[in-house]
Amino acid sequence: MIETVLIHFSGQDRPGVTALLTEILAEYDACVLDIGQAVVHESLSLGLLIEIAEASVLPLRDALIARSAELELQARFTPITKPDLEHWIRSQGKDRFIITVLGRAISARHLSQVSAIITEHGLNVDRIERLSGRMSLAEHSPHANACVELRASGQARSEAEMRAAFLAAAQEMRIDIAFQRESIFRRNRRLFAFDMDSTLIQGEVIDELAKLAGVGDQVVKITEAAMRGELDFKQSFTRRVSLLQGLSEKQVLELLGTIPLVEGAEHLIGTLKMLGYKTAILSGGFTFFARHLQTRLGIDYVFANELDIVDGAVTGLVKTEIVDGAKKAALLKDIAKQENISLEQVVAVGDGANDLPMLGIAGMGIAFRAKPLVRQSAGHAVSFLGLDSLLYLIGVRDRDLGNARPAPQ
């Protein structure tokens, strides 16, 4: 006869604990069906689900209790019935989800609300892990990242309603909550595609050009309406460019280097390059600035609008196909095809309504510091941390990088 037993050890962690305990399991020829271990602040929790001959259960129990005493651990043994074992085996096919909580600091209130939403929608938390580095409040800085990842399983009553609940909680608590299905693609992304203005850089290039041309207020109003989705992008772009007529080429080029990168952009791009990802800028802005970023950051692909300059001055005319939302999506498909990857392996990041088409076809579409319409429509939204926090969403932990930090650009 074969017995199934769940064994749980807890106590102070130290090197060699797992080896010393499994050594005894090996002596009694136990078969390990499942194993899980977590260490929080040097406190160990180790669980093993084993199958063992019925005659060996008591001798094994006595040997493990003696070894646990030597190691100053508590040991608990729970017999598992056949129906419970069969239920555990059948449940391996259930849906699994990853909920990532991001903020400058993570509080008990944050975790309480997130876990309550998980429970309310019929899921069970299977595992919780900190992805950010170790940090105390005494060391806290205004640009610190804190991230906790929860893995949950079950049959969600409504993924759409659950996502909406997370979005509402995130806005109320001023944190970010990402909700995604666990899949083979999560750690197998290959391409990051970015909008440029207000995504990679802190501002809109066309607005800055308009200030130089003395038409800043007029252009800003058109830009804001377009980003909110109130105006057709092509029409609004044509109107804005027309207002730039007469601006000198010298003034245009002086803008390079004056608009700072968004927080975390350099770290994110550098890390992605180090890990072998391809990167792209798909922008409704201008190529002269996008190519500047390409040189500075090492971006692989750049597609944007050409600012028409004749005889040293901006003409105010649009002579090439405008890169609008539909064009961005088409370009993203072309790049994925050229790289021979699935769209599921693509992460797209943007902040405006014209980014929604590419966010919608990417395996992971992220609204970054976006307008409300875009946050509600995208699969994921990050509003309170820098761009480098997106690394957590693809499963990169701070300790994974260790000393392998990307070289400064």
**Which positions are catalytic?**
195, 197
Alpha-carbon distance of 133 to 113, in angstroms, equals: 23
Half-sphere exposure of 399 (CA within 13 A, CB side): 8
CA 324 distance to own-chain centroid = 25
Structure token pair of residue 168: 């509402």
At 322, which helix (H) or strand (E)?
none
Q: Which of 194, 216, 191 is nearest to 206 (CA)?
A: 216
Q: Which of 151, 128, 146, 145 is nearest to 40 (CA)?
A: 128
Structure token pair of residue 137: 């409040």
Structure token pair of residue 156: 């969600």
CA angle, residues 250, 283, 353, in degrees to nearest 5: 125
Phi-psi region of 216 (alpha: psi -120 to 50; beta: other; left: phi over 0): alpha
The amino acid that residue 56 corresponds to is S
Q: Which of 275, 272, 274, 293 is nearest to 390 (CA)?
A: 272
Tell me whether residue 248 is exposed, middle or buried, using C-beta atoms within 10 angstroms of its C-beta: 0 to 12, 13 to 18, 19 or more: middle
In the beta sheet, which residues pair with residue 99?
A: 150, 179
Alpha-carbon distance of 44 to 42, in angstroms, equals: 6
DSSP string, 110-175: HHHHHHHHHHHTTEEEEEEEE-SPP--GGG--TT--EEEEEEEEE--S-HHHHHHHHHHHHHHHT-
The alpha carbon dihedral of 238, 243, 245, 248 has a sign of negative
Q: Which of 168, 359, 146, 190 is nearest to 367 (CA)?
A: 359
Give the strand order in the sheet containing 2-12: 31-40, 43-53, 2-12, 73-79
Structure token pair of residue 135: 């940090």
